[in-house]
Each structure stands twice: as C-alpha cells, then as structure tokens.
Structure 1
C-alpha cells in the first residue's frame, strides 16, 4: 500500500493551469496524487515525491507531520506500548504510557493494569488485571527510543490469570533439564490477508475464485502476488524492532503469506512471534486489510495456514549464517533459515537416536498436543494439502504430509532437527514451544508404552 508522504519545507507544488482550474473541481471527499518537485532541480527521479492531498485543507499533511515528530531532541521521555493477550487467547490488546527515560530491560518498567471486564478476562465487579513487562522491542511505528513491551497478565494478588500461558512456559524453560539442552526454535508463521469489507482473500474476485493453486507459491506478478507490500513492510518493521525474522515468502494459496522467526532460544521464540503478530496487525490496520490467522480460511481445494515449529541443527545454522553473505537466491534463504532449533543432544553426534526418542514421546502425547495446537485445526489437518490427518500420528524423512518431518540432511549426518507440522496458524507459541520442550525433555513414558510406540512407528531407539 502506498504511503502518504508530506512535503518538507524545501519542496513546492508545481501545478499547471489545467490542474489549478479543473473541469470537475475536487471536493472534500476526492483525492489527487500530485508530483512534488524539489526547488531548483530539474533532473533525476530521486528528486520527486508523491503524496496525497485533500482539496480544502492540508489536514492529512499536518497529521502526518505530527506522527513523524522526533521528540528525542526535546525530552528524555519515551512512549512504551504495553501489549498483552486478550480473553480469546489469540487477540492482542495494547495501550501506551509515558516513561521518564529510555530503558534497556523490562525490569526497569513499572507494572500496569487494564480493565479485564472489557477483554473477557475478569468480572465487572473486580475487573482490574495487572500486566507485568516481560520483553522489550524497538517501536517501528514511533521510532526513536520508543518501545513495544510484551506483557503477561496477573490478578492483583499476583496469580497468573487463566489466559496467561507465558507463566507456565517460563516455568518449563527455567527447568534445569531444559536449560541444559538449550532448546532452539524456528517458527513458520502463515497468515492470510482479507479484503476489509467482504472478508474475502486479497486479490480474489469478490464472490469468486482465482485460478487453481500452482503459480502463487513464491510467485511474482500482479496476477500471482497479492499483498507483497504488506509482507515487505512487516519484514523490515520486525528487523527494526529486533525480532529475529529470518525470511518471508508468498504461500500456496493466493493472498496467503509466511514469515519465519528464529533461531531463538526457549521462551524468546514465543515473545518474538507475539510481537511480530502485533506489528503485522498494526501494518494491516494502516493498509485497510484484515489479518486472518484462521487455519483454514477458505474451504475446498485450498491450502490451510499453519505455524510449523522446528528444531534445527546449530552447526548448520552457524555455517548458513556465513554462507548467507554469499547467497542471493531468496527461495533458498527463506526456506533454509526458517528452521531454527534443536536440543544440545540432537545436534551432537548420535543426535538422530535422540530425535527418534523424541518422536516416540510425541506420538504418545499426540492428543495432548493436538488439543493445544490451535482452534479449528481439524479443518486444516485433513491428510491433504501437505498435512497429516489430525487423528493419526506419523513421521517421515522429508515427508511434508507427516505429523513430524525429519530433514534429509539430518538422516544423512545422523544429527540435526525435527519439524512439528501440526500447529495451526493461530496457535499460542507459548503453549507450543513449552509443550515440545516438556514432552521431549521432561516427560517420561512407561517402558511398555514406549516399546509399543516404537513398534508401531517402526523406530529403533
């Protein structure tokens, strides 16, 4: 979506007589794109700027100037946007407050509160919910020293409220057995862009369908790629914020996109995903487009939207980080960097046997994971469109139709990663990342159950 750029003082408007006195004068509801030319220059495309102007006044210009004000030369105060998860467990809420000076750590920020009765998280007669700052990111919307603050929610007595899934995740990730294994995650967040008024995918004819899937995945062109400006704006905003985004690409269904976050250690992966979702919500808000994390936004022969969660070999990532300086193939980068985690044991020699043991544990807790992997996931996990059946656990090497996929490189080297392809696009990353750590590192099945699972899955551990 094109941005509205206000001219600085050194620019002037150059209009012909025809523009100054049009046959149909502009009204307050009409807009014109006008070329702005820098004083004293006649050449070079870089000398021009395009902006929108309202006929009667320059309200938009003045508003834009105020939004872009840099307050750092005039005050040490900053704006902190406190962000938390609402009552549905997937909706994001936020409000801003002034902080006296820049901060570097969440512990420097005060706790705050909000009206939980308005978010479905507290009764009206006792509606105060307390939010604790947990993670800080740079604010790409306000710039300067301003920040975005990821928070979790508690009662006034200090108890985590039911929708606070971060609290339990922090407990799991602080367990000595988990911290010793240094779990790294890479998460592929898929999403769909919808037209605001009709809630139909961006680029689709209203009430109709585009051509069949095939040309849209990583495609280019006005008839194949819809929403690239939003994807690119989000990509840059996340990097500015300090979110560890490793790539992005157009997905199989037109109007659907994906970005990848990681590698990130432990709970940081979930904090980064939640902040990246908030930034995406704000960008689509500005663009007048609706963000959907529905796992199956369009029924029929169309791909759903998932949030594949990966363990990845750290030696591979270190090598890749050096290779990226020499690579220019976007498709390779976005698909290779996406996977971001392994446990220490998985990435060492003999790690494939550890991975197979983790797969056994995951198979035995399949129902527990499915119940926590996102609402409406049964509409996506049908066994079609690169998914496994929701009712059956499966695994395979390089198999995108399995519950758990193991990379071909992992099999070859005998160490590496596993990818859980079951989580839906609307999953809670606090739940998914911590549940993976709990199941693979802390939970111990009975020997009998393990033996039966190994036989069923044809695994030798």
Structure 2
C-alpha cells in the first residue's frame, strides 16, 4: 500500500499548539458561574450546531437550564425577517472539553416563533411514541459508522493519487498500514464515557479511515439522545486534530463499503422466553411498511441511502425487504445467538449513517408496537 500523503488538505486547526489552552482551562471559575454548551440539530437534519452561555447559578437539574434562542436564518431553519428559533433543553451531559470546570453539554429541541417544532425537530414525535409504548420497554442500540476525511475530502491516510489496497485487512485491524487516526477514536471513546453516554464499544471498519462506535442499549429516548451528543463530541474532537468527520452513507463510490447506522431493537416480550415469536411478528409488520421505513432512515427520504443499499457490500437492496438469521445482506438480521436462545432482539440494517436516530426509533415503535 502506498503511504504517500498530501502535504495539503489539512485544517489550520492541526497546526495550533493545543497545550497552550491548558493553562487557561486551569483557571478557577467563580463559584456562582456555570458554562453551558447548548447543542441542537440544524435544518439539514444531520448536522449539529452549538453555542455557549454563562449561567449565574449552579444548575441542579434540567429545569434549571433556561430556554434560549438563536438565529435560525443562519441554520436553514427560518427567514431573516423572523429568525428567532427557541432552544428547549431536554438532556444534560458532563462536558468532556472542560472537565471538572463547572460546565455541561445541554441537548435541546428546536421550536419556531409560534411554538411549533421546527421541521428538523423529530424528537418531539419520537418522545410521544415512546410515552405511548412505555409499558413495552423498547430498547435500542445503534451502530454508528463514519469516515475520517482530510480537508480535500479524501479519506484520511489514503494515497494522494490512487487507492489503498482492497478491503480485507482493515476491519478491526491493527497496525500503521491498516488503521488511521486511532487517536481520535480513543479520545472520543473516553470523552463519551465521561459525558455519561452509554457508549458500548468501538472498532475499525471495513474501509480504511472508516470507524464505528456503538451506543446503547438504552430504553426509550436515551439511545437517540446519546447518539446525537456522541456525534457532537466526535466532530469537536476531530476538529482539534484538523480532520473532518463525514456521516455520508457512501463517501467513496465503487467497490467500498458504505456507512450505516444499524439499529438493534427489542421489546420486553422479545427479551423474555420464546420472545422469538414476538420478533417474527415484528418482522412481519416491518415487511409491510418497507417504503415508510426507507423514507424515515435518511434525512432526504431515501435519496442518500439509495447509494448505499445496493444489495452488495453487506447491504440489502433498497427496493426489497428481506430477513434472515446471521445474514448481513438482509434488511433485518436475527443474530445467531438470538435464533439459538429463541429470545433477544432484531437488527434493522437499513438506516443510513446520517440518519436521524429519532426518526428511526420512532418508526420502529410505531410499526412494531403501536401498529400504526
């Protein structure tokens, strides 16, 4: 494999001496001050924005974080003549970028001037579904794949001209010629644990410069909330290294695996003895709502995912529904252990890497539990 790398294509951030920041972060914060980073989903439905504010008292619970606002005309969410969008805090996390310094990350829903949710606020309808399905105790676990790029949109570490060797040695690989930028992955893993995110693990993926982390299992809204904050943390960490994170489901065309966000889903009945019967019932319901789910599984209603779900490279065809035991080419995979134990969960392999997890979890609950 060629190890030639471009001297161009790197963000100016990569040349800043980050150690200088430490002396300022060591400065004490006044006892009555608190730094809160408000995080929200912008009008694209796949990117996060954030801004900071100083609170003049130490927050003890979610309700102590005030509703805030921002200029929605700069985030594809409003017109300039009526631009205020409101931020409603919904979840709080420890801040890994100012550890122990009286600060927190605040995940928010977005609302328009008329108090209606913005078009990219999929959380509210998801929360309504979770409330109605609460007695079934729905659990979710999402496998987030992503690719690291340089500033010229080449996968990080790839040759300036040409391609690396074909897929095979990179998945869960070890070694300088097989994996790139593990530092970002390690930093992200530890930062998510510190933040309070239920991150389950990480691994190098099939394409070089492609990685994955898993969030969950979490009941109700927890997994989707965690995934959005984990994405924010990943972008922030990569920013410091001068590297770009892309959630594009097919960042490199051709004979390379795309990136998905496989969603593992179960109900209490599925996890109990002979739960395989409930799993099979859910799969039957999903088979009748394939088009609806494809539309919910990427921000553009399937237009992004069609590049990935080709029936090749460990994917099913976007046009057909399928299910099978241990089959990574199916829409729905039943893990081998689940088939043997006759209880557990199913894996929906259709969601794209840039999906809104609120839309994915909402669709699964409404189809499999609420029978909508």
Paired residues for 1:344-383 under 5 Å: 344-374=268-298, 375=300, 376-383=304-311
Paired residues for 1:257-406 under 5 Å: 257-311=211-265, 342-374=266-298, 375=300, 376-406=304-334
Local SS of the residue matching 2:50: strand
Cα distance, 1:226–1:170 mapped onto 2, change above 3 Å = same
Contact conserved, 1:53 with 1:61, CA < 8 A, in 2? no
Tell whether 2:358 aligns with 1:430: yes
Determine the structure 2 residue equivalent to 1:182. 137
Contact conserved, 2:43 with 2:119, CA < 8 A, in 1? no
Q: Distance in 2 between matches of 1:439 and 1:70?
A: 52
Point out which structure has higher relative CO (alpha carbons under 8 A, 6+ apart).
2
Determine the structure 2 residue equivalent to 1:439. 367
Determine the structure 2 residue equivalent to 1:168. 125
Q: Deviations over 1:253-280 (max 9, x none)?
A: 0000000001111111110000000000
Determine the structure 2 residue equivalent to 1:119. 75
Q: Deviations over 1:92-148 (max 9, x none)?
A: 111000112332422111000000111110111111111100000001001123100
Q: Distance in 2 between matches of 1:423 and 1:234?
A: 22
Structure 1: segments with no counterpart, 5+ residues: 1-51, 312-341, 445-461
How many residue pairs match? The answer is: 354
Structure 2: segments with no counterpart, 5+ residues: 1-13
Q: Distance in 2 between matches of 1:267 and 1:214?
A: 36
Q: Distance in 1 between matches of 2:218 and 2:27?
A: 32
Q: Distance in 1 between matches of 2:220 and 2:27?
A: 35
Cα distance, 1:307–1:104 mapped onto 2, change above 3 Å = farther
Tell whether 2:26 aligns with 1:98: no
Q: Distance in 1 between matches of 2:160 and 2:87?
A: 42
Q: Deviations over 1:387-422 (max 9, x none)?
A: 000000000011111000001121122211100000
Runs of 4+ in 1 over 6 A off after TM superposition: none
Q: Deviations over 1:61-106 (max 9, x none)?
A: 654411x22434x423110000011111111111000112332422
Contact conserved, 1:203 with 1:226, CA < 8 A, in 2? yes
Structure-1-length-normalised TM-score: 0.75
Contact conserved, 1:194 with 1:291, CA < 8 A, in 2? yes
Q: Bigger radius of gyration, 1 or 2?
A: 1
Q: Deviations over 1:331-350 (max 9, x none)?
A: xxxxxxxxxxx201111122
Contact conserved, 1:186 with 1:261, CA < 8 A, in 2? yes
Contact conserved, 1:152 with 1:164, CA < 8 A, in 2? yes
Q: Distance in 1 between matches of 2:246 and 2:160?
A: 17
Q: Tell me which of 57, 80, 91 is aligned to 1:135.
A: 91
Q: Distance in 1 between matches of 2:134 and 2:27?
A: 41
Contact conserved, 2:181 with 2:209, CA < 8 A, in 1? yes
Structure-2-length-normalised TM-score: 0.92
Local SS of the residue matching 2:180: coil
Q: Tell me which of 204, 208, 214 is aligned to 1:250.
A: 204
Contact conserved, 2:326 with 2:334, CA < 8 A, in 1? yes
Paired residues for 1:191-206 under 5 Å: 191-196=146-151, 198-206=152-160
Q: Distance in 2 between matches of 1:159 and 1:192?
A: 35
Q: Distance in 2 between matches of 1:283 and 1:367?
A: 36
Q: Distance in 1 between matches of 2:173 and 2:311?
A: 25
Contact conserved, 2:123 with 2:358, CA < 8 A, in 1? yes
Determine the structure 1 residue equivalent to 2:178. 224
Instruction: Give RMSD over aligned pairs.
Output: 1.6
Paired residues for 1:62-73 under 5 Å: 62-66=20-24, 68-72=25-29
Q: Distance in 1 between matches of 2:306 and 2:182?
A: 29
